[in-house]
Amino acid sequence: MLLCVTDGVTERREGSRMLGDDGLTEVLTTCTGLTAGAVAARVLRAVERFAAEPASDDMAILAMRVPEHPQQ
Protein backbone atom coordinates (compact mmCIF):
# COMPACT_ATOMS: atom_id res chain seq x y z
CA MET A 1 0.00 0.00 0.00
CA LEU A 2 1.23 3.46 -0.87
CA LEU A 3 -0.45 6.23 1.10
CA CYS A 4 0.20 9.91 0.47
CA VAL A 5 -1.48 12.61 2.53
CA THR A 6 -1.11 16.36 2.74
CA ASP A 7 -0.36 18.10 6.00
CA GLY A 8 -4.06 18.91 6.40
CA VAL A 9 -4.45 15.28 7.51
CA THR A 10 -1.61 15.04 10.01
CA GLU A 11 -2.01 18.60 11.30
CA ARG A 12 -5.70 18.16 12.16
CA ARG A 13 -6.18 19.86 15.53
CA GLU A 14 -8.50 19.74 18.50
CA GLY A 15 -7.36 22.46 20.84
CA SER A 16 -3.66 21.82 21.43
CA ARG A 17 -3.85 18.17 20.33
CA MET A 18 -2.80 17.22 16.81
CA LEU A 19 -3.52 13.96 14.95
CA GLY A 20 0.11 13.84 13.77
CA ASP A 21 2.09 10.96 12.37
CA ASP A 22 1.39 8.81 15.43
CA GLY A 23 -2.36 9.20 15.05
CA LEU A 24 -2.17 8.38 11.35
CA THR A 25 -0.04 5.33 12.12
CA GLU A 26 -2.61 4.18 14.66
CA VAL A 27 -5.37 4.42 12.05
CA LEU A 28 -3.28 2.50 9.52
CA THR A 29 -2.77 -0.41 11.94
CA THR A 30 -6.51 -1.12 11.51
CA CYS A 31 -6.33 -1.21 7.71
CA THR A 32 -4.71 -4.58 7.04
CA GLY A 33 -6.31 -6.25 4.03
CA LEU A 34 -8.48 -3.28 3.05
CA THR A 35 -8.71 -1.92 -0.48
CA ALA A 36 -7.04 1.37 -1.29
CA GLY A 37 -10.42 3.10 -1.33
CA ALA A 38 -11.33 1.68 2.06
CA VAL A 39 -8.01 2.84 3.53
CA ALA A 40 -8.54 6.36 2.18
CA ALA A 41 -12.09 6.39 3.57
CA ARG A 42 -10.91 5.19 6.98
CA VAL A 43 -8.24 7.88 7.15
CA LEU A 44 -10.77 10.55 6.16
CA ARG A 45 -13.24 9.34 8.83
CA ALA A 46 -10.50 9.42 11.47
CA VAL A 47 -9.62 13.00 10.51
CA GLU A 48 -13.27 14.05 10.60
CA ARG A 49 -13.84 12.40 13.99
CA PHE A 50 -10.66 13.76 15.56
CA ALA A 51 -12.21 17.16 16.25
CA ALA A 52 -15.72 18.51 16.65
CA GLU A 53 -15.04 21.54 14.43
CA PRO A 54 -15.07 21.03 10.65
CA ALA A 55 -11.63 20.79 9.07
CA SER A 56 -10.38 24.16 7.85
CA ASP A 57 -7.16 23.05 6.16
CA ASP A 58 -7.13 21.49 2.71
CA MET A 59 -6.64 17.73 2.63
CA ALA A 60 -5.66 15.23 0.01
CA ILE A 61 -5.46 11.47 0.48
CA LEU A 62 -4.04 9.17 -2.18
CA ALA A 63 -3.97 5.42 -1.57
CA MET A 64 -2.73 2.82 -4.05
CA ARG A 65 -2.40 -0.91 -3.61
CA VAL A 66 -0.30 -3.15 -5.83
CA PRO A 67 -2.02 -6.47 -6.54
CA GLU A 68 -0.45 -9.33 -4.61
CA HIS A 69 -0.43 -11.52 -7.71
CA PRO A 70 -0.04 -9.21 -10.71
CA GLN A 71 -0.98 -10.57 -14.12
CA GLN A 72 2.07 -11.35 -16.22
Residue 19 has pLDDT above 80, yes or no: yes
Region 35-39: mean pLDDT is: 96
- Percentage with pLDDT > 70 across the chain: 96
Residue 55 per-residue DSSP state: P
Counted domains in the chain = 1
CA dist 43 and 60 (Å) reads 11
42 assigned to some structural domain:
yes
38 assigned to some structural domain:
yes
Residue pLDDT, tens place only, 40-71: 999 999 999 999 888 888 999 999 998 777 66
Q: What is the pLDDT of residue 2?
A: 94
Which domain covers residue 29, as residue numbers?
2-64
9 assigned to some structural domain:
yes
CA dist 46 and 13 (Å) reads 12
Contact (Cβ atoms closer than 8 angstroms) between residue 61 and residue 19: no
22 assigned to some structural domain:
yes
User: Residue 28 contacts by C-beta under 8 Å, 6 or more apart in sequence?
Assistant: 3, 39, 43
48 assigned to some structural domain:
yes
Contact (Cβ atoms closer than 8 angstroms) between residue 10 and residue 58: no
70 assigned to some structural domain:
no
6 assigned to some structural domain:
yes
72 assigned to some structural domain:
no
pTM as predicted: 0.86
